[in-house]
Every structure is written in structure tokens, then in C-alpha cells.
């Protein structure tokens, strides 16, 4: 009788534990924990391409941890289709009762090492352990097993990251702006040095040959009235002086400029913002929550978007420093109106192609392939930074708005936007072809 009573007690405790685990909103938990990494990036003022690299490796760590579980993914061949080969990597999963816990902890461990202020994630790690114990996700007895798995995953990812070319960037020749008309030059108000001019040397996850994704040729610098460049320059000048309130809202919503500087007297004040990649990682989390994905699927789609962002930035940055094209602010101030200023502050790198157009389109195409067409969502990614939420009927609608926002903001010409969209599409479709279960 006593044995039967003990069995029933254990049985109901098990049921309660299972019910609690199922009731957890894992997509929201994942998004909340990932945002702690975003906060550190904002603190570090991580450049757009650097931020994408950080998202790629941190989300990859979570995905790899879940790959060790017996949970199903939409595409079991995802990782082998990338340069990351996992053959021979068999971390110990002994004593693991919750792979989700290890996945988040692995994400923190990688973030700690790939960001200058990564040490700030120490508190997040401690808090995560406390949360896991409090919610009986792990126990004191098996805690070390979970931390060990996370460390094995992190070590594997960091070993790959050390070989992607990032460490070597500082040893490459220093960039010097090209002389002559039509070439990029540092812009006001801070006249900052160019950001990551050698980013094209970085290893990509999916793209094999960067030249295959070079954009269409840009309009040559020509101020003759009626030339393609002159017409586009005039468009930027005219459009920005006749913006509607909605167009101003759109431009500011998609600004995502981590380099914005404001002056108060002789004091320069940095205004910290999310990066373009951070905005799309935020949208990915919003979609995962709306679709009520499992943790495994949440980890999967974040890793896929993270690596897509990285490859898209490498491709776009190659185009920027291959062309070294002048920004509208410089050209208009020199040739049209010395007092003109764009609505948005011009970011510190060449103009062609538009980074937001490339990476937003690439992200939107991948997300559409995963979640489907006409997936409506409320974009709350910028609430933390003081901007209102914004509804969209689809990911592509959002990416199209992100692209045209660069014209409204006065920081890009039309061909950089339109050819950037086309560039992002080609990158995304190339990636999707390597993921048969998604692209079918």
C-alpha cells in the first residue's frame, strides 16, 4: 500500500512537472534572453555587420544544442549544407533533462566571448541558472551536466568563429578614401572613419563566391542634367523636403543607426540604437511567438536568419567598398545646397548598395519561406528605443518599407535601394535552395 502511495505521489509530481514545462512560453523566453545579447551590442555600439556576426554565432550555439536532442526540425540537413561540418562533434548529453536550458546558456557563453563587453552577460548566466532551478527546469543534481553541454557547444562554435577572418581584420591595410569626384568621404556631424572596409574578407556561411552576388552596376557619377545620377540626386533633394508625417515616421522607424551622434554645445552625445540585423532578429522572435513554435523550431529559424544576415552583410559591404560611392549628403552639399541635411544621420560608410535594402529583403524572403505568405505581425522591435509599434501584413511588406525608408531618410539613391533589394533576393533564394525542406 505504501509503495503504491509513493508511486502515485511520484506520478502526479511528474505530471505537474510536465504540465509546467509545456506551459512555458519558450519562444518568448528565447527572445527575452537573446535580447540581453542585443543590449550588450547596443552598449558596445556594434556596427551593423559586426552585430550580424554576433547574432549568427550566438543563435547557432542555441541551435546546435537543440540538435543534440531528439526533437525534430523542418530540415535535418541544415548544418551539413553550410561550411560548418559537425561530423565527429559528439558532445556528451548524459544527465540532460532539458536541452532548452543548455541552449540558452550556450548562447550566453558565445556572446560573452564575441563581444567586447561580453562580460556583462555573466549576470545573465547567473540569472538563467537561478531561473532554471526555481522553475525546476534543472536540478542541483544535474545542473553541471547542463552547463557542461553548453560549454562544449560554445567551444565548438567559438573554435569556428576564430577562423572566420575577424581577428585578422585589424592587420589589414588601413582604408583611405579615394580622391576625386563621386567617391565617398566622411560625413557630418561627426565625420567618423569608415566602418569595416575589409568586411568582404570575412568567411560566409552559405555563399561560396561573393562575386556571384555583386549588385547590378550603379549609375555613374554624372551631374549633367538628365543623367541617371543627376535625376536620382535631385529626387533625394526634392523628396526629403516634402515628406509627409507618415514618411518621416517610416524613416525613423527603420533608422537602426548605432552611430548616431547629437551635439549639445561642444559636447557630442552618442544615441544608441538597435542595428538593422537586430531589428530583423526582433521580427523573427515576434513571428516565432505568434506561430507558437517549439523551442527547437525557434532556435532553428533564429540561426537561419542570423546566418543569412551575416552573409548578406558581407556581400553588401563588398559592394560598398568596391564602389566607394558618394553619399547624397556630400553630393548635395557640394553641388546643390550647402545647407541641406538629410532627415536621418548619414552612417559612416559608402552608399552603394543600401544595407537595409539588402539584409531586410534577404531576411524577409527567408522568413516568408518559413512562415508563409501574408504572415501579419505587429512589429514591436523598436519600443525599447522609444519608437511606436508598427503593423505589417507580411515580411515582404516590412522589407519594402525598410528599403524605401532610406530614400525618405535622405541617405540613399534609388538605384542603391532597388538594386539592393534585388541583391538581397538573390542571396536569400540561394540559401533556400540549400534547404530543400523549406524551399519545396
CB 84 within 8 A of CB 160: yes
Measured at the alpha carbon of residue 408, what is the angle toward residues 187 and 200, in degrees to the nearest 5? 55
* Residue 429 near residue 365 (C-beta atoms within 8 A): yes
**121-134 and 26-44 are packed helices; what angle lies between their axes, rounded to 10 degrees?**
160
What pTM was computed for the model?
A: 0.92
d(C-alpha 118, C-alpha 44), whole Å: 9
Q: Which domains does the chain have, with CATH numbers?
A: 25-83+94-440 (1.10.606.20)
Grid cell locating 157: 562554435
Write down the pLDDT at residue 6.
Answer: 44
d(CA 63, CA 294): 12
Q: Tell me the C-alpha distance between 242 and 219, whole Å.
A: 24
| Grid cell listed for 244 | 509627409
Q: What is the DSSP letter of 262?
A: E
User: Is the bond into 266 cis (omega within 30 degrees of 0)?
Assistant: no
Give the distance from CA 162 to its chain's centroid.
Answer: 20
Radius of gyration of the chain, Cα coordinates, nearest whole angstrom:
23
CA distance 183 to 92: 54
Alpha carbons within 13 A on the beta-carbon side of 374: 0
pLDDT tens for the 440 residues of the chain, in order: 445 544 444 344 444 444 444 589 999 999 999 999 999 999 999 999 999 999 999 999 999 999 898 766 655 545 444 557 676 788 999 999 999 999 999 999 999 999 999 999 999 999 999 999 999 999 999 999 999 999 999 999 999 999 999 999 989 988 999 999 999 999 998 899 999 999 999 999 999 999 999 999 999 999 999 999 999 999 999 999 999 999 999 999 999 887 765 554 544 444 567 899 999 999 999 999 999 999 999 999 999 999 999 999 999 999 999 999 999 999 999 999 999 999 999 999 999 999 999 999 999 999 999 999 999 999 999 898 888 999 999 999 999 999 999 999 999 999 999 999 999 999 999 999 988 655 43
Q: What is the pLDDT of residue 366?
A: 96
Residue 277 C-alpha cell reads as: 540585423
> How far apart are alpha carbons 195 and 191 in whole angstroms?
12
Report d(CA 309, CA 313) in Å as an integer.
Answer: 6
State how far the alpha carbon of 270 is from the alpha carbons of 42, 208, 261, 288, 345, in Å: 11, 37, 5, 32, 12
- Distance in angstroms (rounded) separating the CA atoms of residues 103 and 63: 7
Measured CA angle at 237 (ends 234, 242), to 5 deg: 120
| CB neighbours of residue 343 within 10 Å | 18
185 near 287, Cβ under 8 Å? no
CA separation for the pair 299, 62 (Å, rounded)? 6
Amino acid at each position: 500500500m505504501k509503495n503504491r502511495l509513493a508511486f502515485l505521489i511520484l506520478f502526479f509530481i511528474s505530471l505537474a512537472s510536465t504540465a509546467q514545462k509545456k506551459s512555458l512560453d519558450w519562444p518568448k523566453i528565447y527572445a527575452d534572453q537573446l535580447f540581453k545579447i542585443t543590449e550588450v551590442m547596443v552598449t558596445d555600439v556594434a556596427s551593423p555587420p559586426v552585430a550580424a556576426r554576433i547574432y549568427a554565432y550566438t543563435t547557432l550555439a542555441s541551435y546546435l544544442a537543440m540538435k543534440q536532442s531528439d526533437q525534430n526540425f523542418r530540415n535535418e540537413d541544415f548544418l551539413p549544407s553550410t561550411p560548418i561540418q559537425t561530423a565527429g562533434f559528439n558532445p556528451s548529453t548524459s544527465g540532460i533533462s532539458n536541452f532548452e536550458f543548455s541552449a540558452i546558456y550556450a548562447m550566453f557563453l558565445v556572446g560573452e566571448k564575441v563581444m567586447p563587453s561580453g562580460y556583462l552577460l555573466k549576470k545573465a548566466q547567473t540569472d538563467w541558472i537561478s531561473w532554471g532551478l526555481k522553475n525546476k527546469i534543472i536540478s542541483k543534481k544535474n545542473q553541471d551536466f547542463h552547463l557542461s553541454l553548453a560549454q562544449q557547444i560554445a567551444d565548438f562554435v567559438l573554435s569556428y568563429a576564430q577562423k572566420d577572418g575577424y581577428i585578422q581584420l585589424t592587420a589589414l591595410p588601413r582604408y583611405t578614401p579615394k580622391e576625386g569626384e563621386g567617391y565617398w568621404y566622411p560625413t557630418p556631424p561627426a565625420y567618423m572613419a569608415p566602418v569595416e572596409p575589409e568586411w568582404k574578407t570575412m568567411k560566409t556561411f552559405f555563399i561560396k563566391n561573393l562575386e556571384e552576388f555583386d549588385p547590378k552596376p550603379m549609375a555613374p557619377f554624372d551631374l549633367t542634367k538628365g543623367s541617371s545620377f543627376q535625376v536620382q540626386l535631385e529626387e533625394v533633394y526634392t523628396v526629403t523636403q516634402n515628406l509627409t508625417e507618415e514618411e518621416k515616421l517610416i524613416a525613423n522607424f527603420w533608422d537602426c543607426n548605432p552611430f548616431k551622434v547629437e551635439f549639445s554645445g561642444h559636447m557630442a552625445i552618442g544615441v544608441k540604437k538597435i542595428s538593422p540585423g537586430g531589428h530583423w532578429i526582433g521580427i523573427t522572435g515576434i513571428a516565432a511567438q505568434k506561430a507558437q513554435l517549439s523551442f527547437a523550431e525557434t532556435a532553428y529559424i533564429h540561426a537561419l536568419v542570423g546566418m543569412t544576415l551575416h552573409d548578406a552583410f558581407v556581400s553588401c559591404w563588398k559592394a560598398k567598398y568596391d564602389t566607394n560611392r558618394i553619399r547624397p549628403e556630400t553630393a548635395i552639399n557640394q553641388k546643390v545646397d550647402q545647407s541641406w541635411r538629410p532627415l536621418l544621420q548619414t552612417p559612416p560608410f559608402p552608399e552603394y548598395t543600401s544595407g537595409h535594402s539588402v539584409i531586410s529583403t534577404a531576411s524577409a524572403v527567408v522568413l516568408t519561406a518559413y512562415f508563409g505568405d501574408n504572415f501579419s505581425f505587429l512589429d514591436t522591435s523598436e519600443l525599447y528605443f522609444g519608437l511606436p509599434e508598427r503593423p505589417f501584413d507580411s515580411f515582404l511588406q516590412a522589407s519594402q518599407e525598410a528599403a524605401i525608408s532610406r530614400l525618405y531618410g535622405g541617405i540613399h539613391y534609388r538605384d542603391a535601394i532597388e538594386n539592393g533589394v534585388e541583391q538581397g533576393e538573390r542571396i536569400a533564394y540561394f540559401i533556400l535552395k540549400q534547404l530543400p525542406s523549406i524551399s519545396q
